[in-house]
Amino acid sequence: MNAYEEYMKQIVAPMRQELVGHGFKELTTEDAVREHVQTAEGLSLVVINSVCGCAAGLARPAAIEAVETTTAKPDHLVTVFAGQDQEATETMRGYFEDVPPSSPSMAFWKDGKLAYFIPREQIENFPKEAIVDHIQGVLEQLQGQ
């Protein structure tokens, strides 16, 4: 590992831990993504994490608050890290046909297909509370509540 890669690994560690510490499973390889997508039953919330400010100030906190305060909890919480785990992120994005790459973003995977997608454009410059409400509304709709 070169100095740049080591530096980035150290820098993003707390950004990874923020989600992992709240129950999200990191999918860091192509195989881990494929296994999850092909075997997960029920509803998965997939957070495509990023180092940007809107991930730190909005996406991660909103995702955490949304799942901690809703009764319509997803069956699985997973995350890939754009720009860090490139193969895993590209593999995950490959399952979202016709959705341009966007990070941070959130995907709702249900019954073997993409059920809903929240792109960066619906995260950046929105109040965290609006993003929480958006996530919870989607969870309620997809969980039939």
Active site residues: 52, 54
Looking only at the bridges linking them, the beta strands covering 76-81 and 43-49 are parallel
What's 21's DSSP letter? T
The answer to whether residues 113 and 78 touch, using CB atoms and an 8 Å cutoff, is: no
Q: How far apart are CA 54 and CA 62, in angstroms?
A: 11
Q: Which string of DSSP letters, residue by residue, matches 55-74?
A: IIIIIHHHHHHHHHH-SS--
Tokens found for residue 58: 């909005």
Which residues are paired to 25 by β-bridges? 78
Strands (E), 4-103: 25-26, 43-49, 76-81
